[in-house]
Structure 1
Amino acid sequence: MTTEPIGVAVVGAGTMGAGIAYVFAMAGFDVHLVEPDAARSRSAVQVMAKAGADAVRRGKADEDLVRRRLGAVTLTASVDDLPAGLGLAIESVPERLEIKRAVLSQIDRRSPGLIATNTSSLSIDDLSASVSDPGRFVGMHFFNPVWSLMLVEIVRGDATTDAAIEASKGFATAIGKKTAVVADHPGFATSRLDLVLALEAIRMVEAGVSTPEDIDRAVTTAYRHPMGPLRLSDVVGLDVRLDIARHLEKALGPHFSPPRLLQEMVARGDLGRKSGRGFYDWSGSTDF
């Protein structure tokens, strides 16, 4: 007797959405990736293909398996086109409360068993107002690059049931991730810790303490972080860093005030890897 793959929807095919779709597809789930922007959808396919090729090159995956698993990902332009009753639907759209609420409301109408948001800072309780049953709503905070970083931070809202927490942990385990369950406080655990280091590193560059390269080298060498805070900020996106800093500044106080340098870089379009320039020059780079 064969078991049909569990259906998973990922809504939003940006950097995080493409990564989440990739890991679920490679774990054997029946993945539906929703993205209304055709160019971004094509880019997500390319990102997943490159991640698969890198996995083959490193001996982590079989070429034929990668081709079959990624070839089975269903691309669609609308949440309304998703099958009803999928096992899990994950929202991964920009960190704007009104955008996420609208998307979650659409997802709710497709009646998935579990609804998750891949937010790194927004309140699960605030977002839960958009779904009919907050008990089956949970935060599943993935990290970039999704295929490399092993943690999924699971965020429990006031109404989230134990069953929903266990289900989200089960999905994370099935794609090879470890989990940490946290309460719905501003910035959760990881975003607060990560942002403190990133903002302080940016302030050091702003004050002329050292170069981005040397600050990152100090952190990776002394503390054995796999990536320095400034390079990581480029990978995450400086606009994303700024959005989270402003949100946490309002929620937690001036400790999270964004440095002037960060605001200036975002204003002139130096967003990090996705724009080709941030604290590092990413032009022509194929790094993940």
Structure 2
Amino acid sequence: MSGGIRRVGVVGGGQMGAGIAEVCARAGLDTVVCEVDAVAARAARERVTASLDRAVRRGKLERAAARDALARTVFTGSLEDLADRQLVVEAVVENPDAKTEVFAALDKIVEDPAAVLATNTSSLPVGRLGMATQRADRVVGLHFFNPVPVLPLVEVVTSLHTSSGTLATAEEFAAHALGKTEIRCRDRAGFVVNALLIPYLLSAIRMTESGFTSASDVDAGMELGCAHPMGPLKLADLIGLDTVASIAESLYDEFKEPLYAPPPLLLRMVEAGLLGRKSGRGFHTYDRG
């Protein structure tokens, strides 16, 4: 079992954090989910419960296994409850200040000096987060993909400080404890998947922004002409337009490539709260119920 790891913590119980917690609990790990307060912790529990229920309804999970997974998951509003964890995955908002604050706090709270501190960031430098701690060699990127219980990939990202032992533990945790397929990459903005994906999504946004064609036709073109399961603008809506913009800004900051720069339309939509599926409207409209 993943280098003896049995006790896992997840900081953040939103869409990604709840998904990471669910796959950990379903894998038989003692899992603690930490949110900002008790109200947010209850919301995280509801998120995990709803996802487990969906898996049962779709025949992907036995009811007893869903009950067991929920029973081995604790939801809390206090970081102090992560003190005994052997591995902690940070999955808070994609904001460097927020993530740095979490890592600085975990460094003081997590008692085992050999514990692995991981970030689920999709674009921020892992090394920078590690430098917020006194154990940068134990910090690694574990970038999961949404929805976590369904998509099999994890990007394992090493900084210049990440030790070979930390890398081995992270890879074994992803591959053997969680049953994911892991790919290894170095610490650069966007890692592998987003460095390829984001310019494609931004190109689709620019095409719509220019009036060249409609959002529905862009998506239909890639779905029916290239056999993509989801068009680029539907995918951007699923990821969250705020997240797409954040990743684009990180890529542009690092590489200064014009194709990485977020288009004005994307930034205006984020400012207007049109974030995609999670807000009910993005390039398409969704039933939030």
Common fold: TM-score over 0.5: yes
More off after superposition, 36-45 vs 139-148: 36-45
Q: Give runs of aligned pairs for residues 193-272 of structure 1, distance below 5 A.
A: 193-253=196-256, 254-272=258-276
Unpaired runs of 5+ residues, structure 2, are none
Structure 1 counterpart of 2:147: 145
Tell me if structure 1 keeps the 8 A contact 2:23–2:148: yes
Shift, 1:39, TM fit: 3.9
- Give the corresponding residue for 2:34: 34
Residues 10-69 of structure 1, C-alpha deviation per residue, up to 9 Å, x if partnerless? 001111111111111111110000001444323322221222122112222110110121
Using the aligned pairs only, state the percent identity. 40
How far did residue 195 of structure 1 move?
Answer: 0.5
Identify the residue that residue 135 of structure 1 maps to in structure 2: 137
For 1:79 and 1:157, how far apart are their aligned partners in 2? 25
Match of 1:98 in 2: 97
**Alpha-carbon offset, residue 127 of structure 1:** 1.1
Matches within 5 A, 1:1-288: 6-84=6-84, 86-109=85-108, 110-112=110-112, 113-173=115-175, 174-253=177-256, 254-285=258-289
Q: For residues 103 and 14 of structure 1, what CA distance do their matches in structure 2 show?
A: 15
RMSD, aligned α-carbons: 1.7
Which amino acid letter does the alignment assign opposite residue 102 of structure 2? V
Distance between the aligned counterparts of 2:213 and 2:70, measured in 1? Answer: 43
CA separation of 1:245/1:276 partners in 2, compared to 1, >3 Å: closer, same or farther? Answer: same
Q: 1:97 is matched by which residue type in structure 2?
A: P
By how many angstroms is 1:114 displaced? 0.8
Instruction: Judge which range, 262-271 or 241-250, deviates more.
Output: 241-250
Flag the 1:47–1:213 CA change in 2: closer, same or farther, 3 A: farther
* Number of residue pairs matched by the alignment: 281
Q: Given that residues 5 and 28 in structure 1 are in contact (C-alpha distance below 8 angstroms), is that contact kept between their aligned partners in structure 2?
A: no
- Displacement of 1:201 in angstroms is 0.9
CA deviation after TM superposition for structure 1 residue 220, in Å: 2.9
SS state of the match for residue 32, structure 1?
strand
Q: Deviation per CA, 1:122-171: give whole Å up to 9, x if none.
A: 11111111122211110001111111111100101101111111111111
After superposition, the C-alpha distances for 1:76-104 in whole angstroms (9 at most, x for unaligned) are: 112122232x2210111112212111101
How far 1:242 sits from its partner (Å)? Answer: 1.2
* Amino acid corresponding to residue 78 of structure 1 in structure 2: S
Q: Give the distance between the partners of 1:71 and 1:231, measured in 2 at CA.
A: 35
Structure-2 separation of matches of 1:194 and 1:22: 26
Q: CA deviation at 1:5?
A: 7.5
Amino acid at match of 1:263: L
Give the structure-1-normalised TM-score: 0.92
